[in-house]
Amino acid sequence: MSKKILIIGGEGNGGVVAACIEDMRLRHRILEWEVAGFINDYEQSVSGYPVLGGTGDVQDILRRHSDYYLMWAIHTIGRNYLIEKVFNKANIPTERLATIVHPSAFVAPTAHLEPGVFVMSNCYVGPSAHIGLCCMLMANSLVAHDTRVGPLCHFSAGSITGSYNTIGKCSSIAYGTVVLEKKNIGNFAVAGASSLVTKDIPDGEIHIGIPARFMKKVMEA
């Protein structure tokens, strides 16, 4: 029997998670997970699924549905402090987090995925890479060997994060961006779309361009 999952988020990232699970079920006959609905602070339904409550209701929902699992899918690029704030409010027990890897993704046997990680189609996670709690790797994103990623980070479609990098918490590597090897990307930091990151990005800063340079600070929560 499939395990029931509630997706915390909206139709952007959350809709991608739902589509991934549907694809695993329908095309690949992997029936481990079944989407039971969403948790969302604003909508009544998301991508055709019912919303069971808001982020403040997570504890209550987990009590009422003791066999349900959760997938975190909130990542507001440019408002990165907000992600941690909402995540802490939800206070999800680690053992109730799902980990989902699309069957077309490659995750090296020596890579480590913490609970709640989402890996979409055609991703690559290299040997000895470490992906933190509730990170999202969107389609065709690559994280190379020996790179260490903190919790709640987001790798947009087509991003390439090189080897021996360190990324803090709640940071974003946007669409099509390349991060060269041995860089430090701080907490709540953003590498903007189609950038080439050749230098470290300090905490709370957005860098863009080729090579990437400081653009502005991320918004305060």
Q: Which residues bind ligand COA (CB under 6 A)?
A: 12-13, 77-78, 138, 156, 174-175, 190, 192-195, 206, 208-209
Q: How far is the CB of 150 from ligand COA (least distance, A)?
A: 18
Q: Compare residues 74 and 92 and give the one whose CB is closer to ligand COA.
A: 74
| Backbone phi, psi, residue 87, to 5° | -60, -45
Q: Compare residues 62 and 152 and give the one whose CB is closer to ligand COA.
A: 152
Residue ranges of alpha helices (H) inside 28-155 are 58-64, 80-90
Position closest to ligand COA via CB: 192
Q: Compare residues 21 and 190 and give the one whose CB is closer to ligand COA.
A: 190
Q: How far is the CB of 136 from ligand COA (least distance, A)?
A: 8
Q: How far is the CB of 19 from ligand COA (least distance, A)?
A: 13
Residue 118 contacts residue 157 (beta carbons within 8 Å): no
Q: Compare residues 64 and 199 and give the one whose CB is closer to ligand COA.
A: 199
Q: How far is the CB of 7 from ligand COA (least distance, A)?
A: 14
Only one residue has tokens 């090189």, namely 162
Q: How far is the CB of 220 from ligand COA (least distance, A)?
A: 14
Residue 129 contacts residue 108 (beta carbons within 8 Å): yes
Total Cβ atoms within 10 A of residue 190:
29
Buried b / exposed e over 35-54, threshold 16 CB at 10 Å, is bbbbbbeeeeebbebebbbb
